[in-house]
Amino acid sequence: MSPKITTELLKQLRQVMKSPKYVQEPVQAYIVPSGDAHQSEYIAPCDCRRAFISGFDGSAGTAIVTEQHAAMWTDGRYFLQAAHQMDNNWTLMKMGLKDTPTQEDWLVSVLPEGSKVGVDPFIIPADQWKRMSKALRSAGHDLVPVKENLIDTIWTDCPQRPCKPLITLDPSYTGVSWRDKIVALRSKMAERKVLWFVVTALDEVAWLFNLRGSDVEYNPVFFAYAVIGMNTIRLFIDGDRMMDPAVREHLQLDSTLEPEFKIQVMPYGSILSELQAVGAGLSPKEKVWLSDKASYALTEAIPKAYRYLTPYTPICIAKAVKNALETEGMRRAHIKDAVALCELFNWLEKEVVPKGTVTEIIAADKAEEFRSQQKDFVELSFATISSTGPNGAIIHYKPVPETNRTLSVNEIYLLDSGAQYKDGTTDVTRTMHFGIPSAYEKECFTYVLKGHIAVSAAIFPNGTKGHLLDSFARSALWDCGLDYLHGTGHGVGSFLNVHEGPCGISYKTFADEPLEAGMIVSDEPGYYEDGSFGVRIENVVLVIPAETKYNFKNRGSLTFEPLTLVPIQTKMIDVNLLTQKECNWVNDYHQKCREVIGAELERQGRHEALRWLIQETEPLIRVQ
């Protein structure tokens, strides 16, 4: 990797920062955040403005450019990568280290008195604006919205905003029609006494209308906003996508409908002016509901007294609780996914052991190939992490030609991968050894497995927040002085984003709504030894009611059911470190893999993979 040369670009940016064509008054600093106008985690190429100006293309990072300086804030996952990708014009600000200043503190330390700091008001979330604006103001500076994105003005070969065809999902996939979702949303709005709800997150728009897209890689979403009133529905979307007869029928655009279900289609770019019109028409006590993560621009369109902001929207919460049909779809998707992985692992064992011709990239491609053979396959759900030996210790590793290693019988192989099927989203990690693992490797693997089981088999009261389960995953590692530096699980969408809120399992306590039956999260503890290997065992699990002997205060209890049904390599387990209960858990899990995945392999006539499955699911025997 050689760094991007940014001298000329920075010069151009500094010119437009002073140009009356773009700014009312010159700005002394310009902030380039990571996200898009929907605060997405994954973004389209046209939104990769921070990567364009700096060269650094990790998933998290904020650039700030002043007359004299250019600085990049990013976290521990990306220190090395950012240092490699940026030239000497840039100062790397390592977040999480003691001596690293916050963006606000740094700005205050370098700016001349009474400076203006510009930012695109569509890109910066309202809560972040508030924090930063306050800090700057108290030091005598001003945070100002710059309407036209200054990066876009100098980005001559900026790719077009994608505008790909939509997929319609009928209720046999979603369980609920979009009309019923609107009805449910309006009843939540009535409960909170709000008249309008603004849908800004891309996966929330997709979920609400039972539509999917492919504007952003891995995430089946499309660029759109929606504004829902008690009697109106406005969908802001571009292109000829609304000309598609299937979409028109799905949304009943040409039918005679009750007016409250009539969808008004408007241009994507008109959201701000439409919202301003809504804001201007409000009477006292009429409120508009927005996520507090919505952009500053859209939030400001509604006068402060009329805003109703919450960290989680009612759509976010409803989307997290999967209904019976969605759950069935997720089950089907995970069965197909397991078939593909049994094929892959059987193939790897055959290719790796005798031939040694498989690289990380070849293995990742082969995984995609097997998945694509399955019904309703759409695309991968994230970039496959195919890593062997020391690469396994890089938690967000993605093989590229420069780092690509060959799988061997001497190293641990870690594969974290998943796919989008029309009926569900998968995300699974398995860690395998194709030769003979060392006692130490087995020991670490077994601690991770113990943590995985502790979460998966946990029984806990209804309404428990995910952060209260995180330590269960770590306890066995902690006992030996080990740990891993990431959370234990994230919410998973239903043919939607592989990472979704508002629930998860982490020592961090944000994004942490109480768990309830029907939610789907990942369970993925790990252990990473820098420079030598990585272990992670990940299943996607469904929150289900648990039967218990007693029932304190009639609260009811919950537990998890694994949706992922892929063998956990028993060769890597030190059985003597397991309790009898843990040993039974592994055996029961493998029995279920045999029954469910075995039957599907049989049905698909995949006999070699079936043999592999049978061999990999032999019961463990614990010597007392």
Binding positions for a second copy, rule: CB under 8 A: 138, 305, 458-461, 465, 467-472, 475, 477-483, 507, 509, 546, 548-553, 555, 557, 579
Q: How far is the CB of 500 from a second copy (least distance, A)?
A: 23
Q: How far is the CB of 579 from a second copy (least distance, A)?
A: 8
Contact 463, 516 (CB under 8 A): yes
C-beta closer to a second copy: residue 427 or 470: 470
C-beta closer to a second copy: residue 166 or 546: 546
C-beta closer to a second copy: residue 138 or 187: 138
C-beta closer to a second copy: residue 468 or 575: 468
At residue 387, the 3 state secondary structure works out as: strand
- Bond from prior residue into 502 cis (ω within 30 degrees of 0): yes
Q: How many CB atoms lie within 10 A of CB 317?
A: 17
Q: How far is the CB of 457 from a second copy (least distance, A)?
A: 9
C-beta closer to a second copy: residue 340 or 558: 558
Q: How far is the CB of 555 from a second copy (least distance, A)?
A: 8
Q: How far is the CB of 137 from a second copy (least distance, A)?
A: 12
C-beta closer to a second copy: residue 304 or 603: 304
C-beta closer to a second copy: residue 21 or 304: 304
Handedness of CA 482, 487, 492, 496 (dihedral sign): negative
The CA-based angle 266-267-272, given to 5 degrees, is 95
Q: How far is the CB of 529 from a second copy (least distance, A)?
A: 9
Residue 569 backbone dihedrals phi, psi, to 5 degrees: -60, 115
C-beta closer to a second copy: residue 397 or 527: 527
Handedness of CA 246, 251, 253, 255 (dihedral sign): positive
Which is it for strands 500-505 and 460-461: parallel, antiparallel or unpaired?
unpaired
162 closest CA partner among 268, 55, 68, 314:
268
- Classify residue 511 as left (phi > 0), alpha (psi -120 to 50) or beta: left
Half-sphere exposure of 313 (CA within 13 A, CB side): 28
Handedness of CA 111, 133, 65, 62 (dihedral sign): positive
For residues 441 and 409, give the distance between their C-alpha atoms in angstroms, rounded to a whole number.
Answer: 14
- By the 10 Å C-beta count (0-12 exposed, 13-18 middle, 19+ buried), 451 is classed as buried
Q: How many CB atoms lie within 10 A of CB 109?
A: 9
Q: How far is the CB of 470 from a second copy (least distance, A)?
A: 7
- By the 10 Å C-beta count (0-12 exposed, 13-18 middle, 19+ buried), 587 is classed as middle
Q: How far is the CB of 512 from a second copy (least distance, A)?
A: 9
C-beta closer to a second copy: residue 19 or 548: 548
Q: How far is the CB of 547 from a second copy (least distance, A)?
A: 9
C-beta closer to a second copy: residue 413 or 460: 460
Q: How far is the CB of 105 from a second copy (least distance, A)?
A: 12
